[in-house]
Amino acid sequence: MTDKLKRIAFLDGLRGVAILMVVLFHAYARWTGLVPYGDKFSHFFLFSYGSLGVYLFFMISGFVILMSLEKTTDFFGFIYHRWLRLFPAMFIVSILIFVTARGLFPERPAGIPSVRDLLSGLTFIDPAFLSHVIHSPHGMLEGSFWSLFVEVKFYIIFGLMFFTFGENPAIATLIGLFISNVLISLNIIDRHFGYLFSTEYMGWFASGAIYYLYFKSGNKKLLFLGLLMSLISSVNFYCLHIDTGAMCAAIIMSLFFFFIMISEKLRSIMGSKSLLFLGFISYPLYLVHENMMVSLIVKTGRWMPFMPVILLPIIPIASVIAVAGLVAKYAEPGFRDILRRILEMRMRTDQVTHH
């Protein structure tokens, strides 16, 4: 493994871009019926299609996860490290959201959560699946959690295929699952298959994984294959949602990722301090921002009616960034260390017991 692959700063900068897209979408375009300015800014291109930041996250994950798999010796070790990466922030943020929802943020678009709404986030299992299995309705604390359920499916599918068959068959499996969308749309494959394996998103992950192979090897064929996968995923987005604007935005995002792969200057821009900071806090910020931020925008509109409406989200956005920063810098690593020690102690105890 070369030095440049040990820590690729521009990926953190890309995470910063992705989370900024999602935050601005939720601040200005998603909740037009609740925010004081309504739909005044919702048609601005950068706001209206900011939800595509989630698919940028998927591409980054494809890149990073293949790199992580190469450094891991077995499937269970990989899943353990992914869980240890995701769970601490999810636990901390879930508790924070739950205890503040009723008293501090009753304006939440998602309403006041119940205790059972904690389960889907803490287990990374889709609430629809939980509701079906447990025969009891389950929700989720934040609508943005949906992408975590997709991510976990990707980890399981890609990890199993990687350690069973190898790198290329694992990527081919992602592409095959993505292509199955055509068969699902033709009613040749049951639509539940698509839901179970989140097939419509696997092209984005495959694109990121292929870009990683290019970044590692310098093979130009892989560079253009990665671009092709993301462009096909963009067209698929149109086919699913019949939204030409969204497809164009997805294509622009795909080209943006492509040019970052080939441009040292763009990678240098992605390595700027502000984007690196947003990338560093992107996971807890993604988890915590939506309902808390929208509640604060509504409150700010009541408390500061004199403020220009386009500026109303500034203080709320800064507030959720501050919360995410505290979680990312202090709470999350501290809790992760505690979990790691407990689990390692348990494993050592089990080994002694079995001997």
How open is the CA angle 157-20-48, to the nearest 5 degrees? 90
Alpha helices in the chain (DSSP H): 3-6, 9-25, 45-48, 53-70, 75-101, 118-123, 127-134, 146-165, 167-185, 191-197, 202-217, 220-241, 244-262, 264-270, 273-280, 282-303, 314-326, 332-354
Number of C-alpha atoms within 13 angstroms, CB side, residue 177?
26
DSSP state of 198: T
Terminus-to-terminus CA distance in the chain, angstroms? 36
CA 232 to chain centre: 20
Residue type, 138: H
The Cβ of residue 273 has, within 10 Å, a number of other Cβ atoms equal to 9
The H or E element spanning position 108 is none
Instruction: At 281, give phi and psi (nearest 5°).
Output: -100, 5
Backbone angles phi, psi at 267, to 5 degrees: -65, -35
Q: What is the pLDDT of residue 2?
A: 44
pLDDT for the residue 78 = 97
Instruction: Give the residue extent of every domain in the chain.
Output: 3-354
| Burial (CB count within 10 angstroms: exposed 0-12, middle 13-18, buried 19+), residue 51 | middle
pTM: 0.95
Give burial (CB, 10 Å; 0-12/13-18/19+) of 211. buried
Residue 312, φ and ψ in degrees, nearest 5: -55, -35
Structure tokens at 151: 């991510």
| Among candidate residues 325, 237, 269, 313, the one with its CA nearest the CA of residue 47 | 313
Are 291 and 142 in contact, with CB atoms under 8 Å apart?
yes
pLDDT at 6: 40
Q: What is the pLDDT of residue 355?
A: 59
Residue 5 pLDDT: 42
Residues comprising the chain, all counted: 355
pLDDT along the chain (355 residues), means of 10: 57 97 98 97 94 97 97 96 97 98 95 95 93 86 96 98 98 97 84 92 98 96 98 88 89 97 93 95 98 98 96 98 98 97 84 64
Give the Cα separation of 215 and 209 in Å (integer). 10
Under a CB-based contact definition with an 8 Å cutoff, are residues 172 and 314 in contact? no
Task: State the pLDDT at residue 353.
Answer: 66
